[in-house]
Structure 1
Amino acid sequence: MPDLQASIAHYYHQRTKYDPNTIATKNKALDWTKQPIPFKDYKIGNILDLKPYLSKSLNTPSDLTSQTWRRLSRLFACSYGLTAKLATMGGTPVYLRAAPSAGGLYPAEVYLISRGTALLPAGLYSYQPLSHSLIHFWENEVWSELQTACFDHPALKSTDLALITTAIFYRSAWRYEDRAYRRIFLDTGHLLGNIELASSMNDYRPYLIGGFQDTVINDLLYLDPTQEGVITVIPLVDLQQIPDSLPQSFTALPSKIQTQYPEIPDGELLYYLHQATLITDSDLPSSPLGEDHTSLEDKYNFPFCLKVSTQTTPINWGENLSAIETTILKRRSTRAYTGAELTLDELKALLNFTYQPQDYIEQGLDRHPDYFDLSLLETFIAVSGVSGLEEGCYYYAPKAQELRQIRFKNFREELHFLCLGQELGRDAGAIIFHTADLNKAVAKYGDRVYRYLHMDAGHLGQRLNLAAIYLNLGVSGIGGFFDDQVNEVLGIPTDEAVIYITTLGRPRLA
C-alpha cells in the first residue's frame, strides 16, 4: 500500500519523478497509430466565422458591432489561435498555436458561455482554432447553472460572457503517460498568460476561477469526464461597459486531502489524481484548510549572500500594446542556444515583466492579474552566462526585487544532466526554476493545489516567454527533469518541489 501519511498529490508527485536510475525503464516507445488529434470537431452547430474581423481595415469607431467582433476575434487568436502550419514527412501538417504546449500536443480546449447578448445568443460555444471560428452547439440558457457551480462568484453577476478551459487528458498522456498531468496544467498556465494579456489588449478583464463544482460544469458542457475535464472558468468583464474593474474575489478554493487510496496501476494515476481533486458542494470547506501565513517579505534571505538589485526600466510594449500582439503571434520555443552570454539588463527586464505587473499600469496592463496563489511559488535562477553577474544559483526575491546568491559555481554540465541531457540546459545563459513547498500548499488548499501550482508556474513561464522573444532572446520551457537532483546540485532547500524550468539564452539560428 502507498504511504498513507502522504496525500494523493504528494504521492503522485513522488511517483512521477524522473530519476537517472529508472528513467530508461519508464520511457516507452510511442504508438504512432494512436497519436491523438489536437482538434475537437463539432458536427452540429451554428458557425460564427471570426477570420474577417482580424482585418485592421475594420478599425472604424462608428461600427460598434464590427469593433466588438474584432475584439473577440483578436482575443481568441492571441490566446489559442493558430500561428503557423508546418509540413511533415508524413504529409499531415503540424499546426502551432499562440500558447506553447509540451510536445506540441495542445491538451486544452477553449469554450465560451454567453448569458445572451446582441451578438452572442445564450448558450455554449466551442472555439475552433483550425478555422478560427466559434460553433454555437447549445442554444439554451445555462448561465444560472454556471453561477451555481462557481458558488456565485461575483464576477459572473457583472458580465455576460465567460471562457472555459478544459483538458483532453489523452492528448498529453499518449506521450508523457502519468506525468502528463503536470504538463497539462503547465500548458493551461501558458494559455492563461495569453488570455490575461490578450484581454488587456481588447478591453476585457478576465477573472480567473479555479474553485468550482467540476461535475456540474462537465455535465453543463456535455463532456465525457473520463476523457475531458473542466480546468478553469474565466468570466470576461467588458471594460468598455464597466470601466472600473470589480473587487478581487477568490480564484482558488480547496478540495479535500485524500490520504486513503489503493495501489494504483501505471497509466491510471493521472486520472485518479484528477478525480481526487474534484470539488462538490457537499465537501467544500467554508475557508482554506490551513491558516494563511503569507508573508509581506520574501521567503528566503540567506545570511552574508551577494545581493543584486533587479529594479529596471519596464519594457515598452508600444502604443495600444501592439508589440505584445506581435510577440504572441511570432513566439516559438527555441530549439538550440549558442552558449553566448545574456546581459544583466536583459535578465532584469525579463524578471520585471514577469513579476512586477504594477510597473505596466500606464501601458494598459492589469496591476493585479489573477493567479491562484503566487505566495506558494518560489523562484531560483541558475546563472551560467550573464555578463555583469557571477555564475551560480540565486534566489529571486520579487518583493525586494533582488537576486540573492546561494551557490558559487558554473553549473553548465550539471544542468545538461538535470535537464535529461538536453543541450538547452547546457547552453542556456540562465535557467529559471519555479518551486513550491508541497506540504504548505496541500495544507492550505488540499490536493487540488497541485493544479494551481502548475498553472501559476505556467502563467509566469508564458510571461517569461513573451518578454524573451520581444528582447530577441531564446526561451524554452522544460517539464522533464531529474526532480530530486535539481535540489541537490543547485543547493535549493529540499522542501521545495521543482514545478517548472524555463531556459533562456542566445538562440542558434538555423
Structure 2
Amino acid sequence: MPEHQESIAQYYHDRTKYHPETIAAKSQGLDWSKQPVPFKEYKIGTSYDLKPYIQEENLAFSDEPVALWWRRLSRLLFCSYGLTAKVPSMMNPIYLRAAPSAGGLYPAEVYLVSRGTPLLPAGLYNYQPQTHSLVHFWENDVWHSLQSACFGHPALEKTDLAIITTAVFYRSAWRYQDRAYRRIFLDTGHLLGNIELACALNEYRAHLIGGFADETVNQLLYLDAEQEGAIAVIALADLLDVQQNFPLGITALPSATQTNYPYIPDGELLSFCHHATQIEPDADTHEVPNATSNTSLEDKYNFPFCLKVSTETAPIDWGLNLEGLERTVLRRRSTRVYSGADLTLDELKALLDFTYQPQHYIEQGLDDAPDYFDLNLIETFIAVSGVTGLEEGCYYYAPLAQELRQIRFKNFRRELHYLCLGQELGRDASAVLFHTADLKSAIAQYGDRVYRYLHMDAGHLAQRLNLAAIYLNLGVSGIAGFFDDQVNEVLGIPTDEAVIYITTIGRAK
C-alpha cells in the first residue's frame, strides 16, 4: 500500500468535504425501499418495563428504596434517549427522541452493562426506546471483560453499571453516504450531553471512556462489526453510594496514525475509516495524555487590536431540583424556520455561559467539570448577524477569558445562506456558531482516533447549547452539511482550523 503524507483521518475529512462544483453530482435520491429501521429488536431475553417509574401516579411511592432506584435509572435512560414525539412522514412515522439526530435517523443504540446488583442481575441489556424498557439478552457476568477492554480504567473498579453507545452505520449512511461518519459521532455527542445531564438529574456521575479495544467491546455485545460498532463507554457512578465518589480518570486514549492505505472507493470510506481508528486489544496504553489536559493555560487566539466583549453573566436558573432542565430535555426540538429577528447580547451570553462554563452551575447540582475527550482541541467562532448590543461580524469565543474577540467586520447573512448549502436557517439565524479543530495537531496527540473525539465533543457542546436555547425560548438547529473550505475563507477563520459542526441560533418563526 502506498505511503501518504496525510493520515487516514485527514484523508477521510478531505474526501468527504462538500464543494460547490461537485455537490450536485454527489447528491443522490433516497431509495425509500431500503430505509433503515431506527430500532433494534431482541427476540429473546427478559424484559424490564421502565414506564411505571416515570408515570406521575407512581411518584408517591418514589420514597421506597427499590422504587427510587428504578425511578432514577428509568429517568436517566428516558432523558438520555427516550421517545418524546411522533411525527407523521410519507413512508413511516418518525419517532423523535430526547437527543437530536441528523435527518431523524438515530444511528445510536444504548446498552446497559450490569456488574450485578440486587435489582439488576449481571449481564447485558439493550435499551428499547419504543417501549421504554430494558431487554436482558445476556445473563453472564461480563464486567471483567469490559474492564479488560477498557484497559483497566479506574472508573469501572467501583461502579456497578455502565452504558455503552454503539452506532448502526447504515442508518445514517443510507442518506449521507460516507460523510455519515461525521454525523454519527456528532449525534453520539448529543447523546453524551444528554447522558451527562440526565445523570446529574438522578444522582449519578457519568465517567466517559473513549479509549477501549473496539474489537473486544464489539464481541462482548455480540455486534456484527461490519454493520455496527461500539462508540463510547460511560461508567455510571452512583452518587448516593459514598464508595462511588472518586476522582476523574482519563477519557481519551490515542490510536495509531495510519498513512499506509490504498485508494478507497466511494461507499467504502466510512467503514475503512472506522476500522482504521480502532484501538487494538494489545495496544500499549502506558503513555497517555495527562488526565488533566482539559484545563489549558490560555485561549488559543488573541488577535491584536480587535474588539473584545466580555461574556460574563449570571448563570441560567434551571429551577428547583433542576425541574426546568428536565422539562427542556424532553421538549427540545430542532428549529426549522427563523423569523430573522435579533437576539439580545444577554441571551447570547447566557447560551455561552451554560455551554462553556459548567463551574457556574455547581450550586444548582450540576457537575462543575463534566467529562469531555479534550476540549483543548475545540475552538469556537461565532458569525453574528443580528444580536442587539453586538456589532455584526465574526468573533472568536475565548472560554477561559470569557470574552468574544472580533476577527471580521461584516454582515454575513448572504454568505451564511450559501455556506450552509442554501439552507435558510443559516441566512435567518441571528448568530451561527462554528466548532473547529486543528486536525493535524489533534492527530499528532491522539492518532486518527481523535477524529471521533472531536466530533463527539462538538456534539456534546452543541447539545448544551441546544438545551439552553430552548429553555430561553429561542430557536436552535445544528447543521452538519456545509462547504468546508469556504467557511474558513469567508469568515476569516484560520485555514488550519477544520470546521467540525455548525449550530444556528435565532428566534423561531
1:467 alignment counterpart: 468
Quote the Cα distance in structure 1 between the aligned partners of 2:161 and 2:309.
44
Deviations 1:196-230 (A, max 9, x none): 00000000001000000110110000000000000
Amino acid in the other structure paired with 1:22: T
Deviates more, 1:1-10 or 1:287-296: 287-296
Q: 1:258 touches 1:276 (CA, 8 Å); kept in 2?
A: yes
1:283 positional shift: 3.1
Quote the Cα distance in structure 2 between the aligned partners of 1:258 and 1:3.
9
Quote the Cα distance in structure 2 between the aligned partners of 1:135 and 1:61.
23
Matching of residue 287 in structure 1 with residue 287 in structure 2: yes
1:280 positional shift: 1.3
1:287 positional shift: 1.9
Structure 1 stretches of 4+ moved >3 Å: 59-62, 288-295
Say if 1:364 and 1:495 are closer, same or farther in 2 by CA, change over 3 A. Answer: same
1:248 positional shift: 1.2
Question: Aligned to 1:162, what secondary structure does the other structure show?
Answer: strand
1:284 positional shift: 3.2
Q: 2:178 touches 2:269 (CA, 8 Å); kept in 1?
A: yes
Equivalent pairs, count:
507
Deviations 1:323-345 (A, max 9, x none): 11100110000000000000000
Deviations 1:336-386 (A, max 9, x none): 000000000000000000000000000000011000000000000000000
Quote the Cα distance in structure 2 between the aligned partners of 1:145 and 1:320.
37
Question: Aligned to 1:489, what secondary structure does the other structure show?
Answer: helix
Matching of residue 231 in structure 1 with residue 231 in structure 2: yes
Q: 1:256 touches 1:283 (CA, 8 Å); kept in 2?
A: no
Deviations 1:307-338 (A, max 9, x none): 00000000000111111110011000000000
Structure 2: which 5+ residue stretches go unaligned? Answer: none
2:160 alignment counterpart: 160
Instruction: Spell out the pairing of 1:286-435 with structure 2 (5 A cutoff).
Output: 286-288=286-288, 295-435=296-436
1:58 positional shift: 2.4
Q: 1:255 touches 1:284 (CA, 8 Å); kept in 2?
A: no
Quote the Cα distance in structure 2 between the aligned partners of 1:3 and 1:402.
43
Quote the Cα distance in structure 1 between the aligned partners of 2:132 and 2:321.
23
Q: 2:3 touches 2:261 (CA, 8 Å); kept in 1?
A: no
2:31 alignment counterpart: 31
1:148 alignment counterpart: 148
Q: 1:108 touches 1:166 (CA, 8 Å); kept in 2?
A: yes
Q: 1:288 touches 1:444 (CA, 8 Å); kept in 2?
A: no
1:294 positional shift: 7.2
Question: Aligned to 1:206, what secondary structure does the other structure show?
Answer: strand
Quote the Cα distance in structure 1 between the aligned partners of 2:275 and 2:71.
38
- TM-score, normalising length from structure 2? 0.98
2:192 alignment counterpart: 192
Amino acid in the other structure paired with 2:303: F
Question: Aligned to 2:263, what secondary structure does the other structure show?
Answer: coil
Question: Aligned to 2:209, what secondary structure does the other structure show?
Answer: coil
1:181 positional shift: 0.2
Q: 2:158 touches 2:244 (CA, 8 Å); kept in 1?
A: no
Quote the Cα distance in structure 2 between the aligned partners of 1:301 and 1:269.
37
**Identity of aligned pairs, percent?**
72
Say if 1:31 and 1:334 are closer, same or farther in 2 by CA, change over 3 A. Answer: same
Instruction: Spell out the pairing of 1:127-276 with structure 2 (5 A cutoff).
Output: 127-242=127-242, 245-276=245-276
Q: 1:290 touches 1:443 (CA, 8 Å); kept in 2?
A: no
Quote the Cα distance in structure 1 between the aligned partners of 2:217 and 2:465.
32
1:87 positional shift: 2.2
Q: 1:251 touches 1:372 (CA, 8 Å); kept in 2?
A: yes
1:184 positional shift: 0.1
Say if 1:19 and 1:344 are closer, same or farther in 2 by CA, change over 3 A. Answer: same
Q: 1:317 touches 1:324 (CA, 8 Å); kept in 2?
A: yes
Q: 1:381 touches 1:430 (CA, 8 Å); kept in 2?
A: yes
Question: Aligned to 1:208, what secondary structure does the other structure show?
Answer: strand
Quote the Cα distance in structure 2 between the aligned partners of 1:406 and 1:244.
46
Q: CA RMSD in A?
A: 1.5
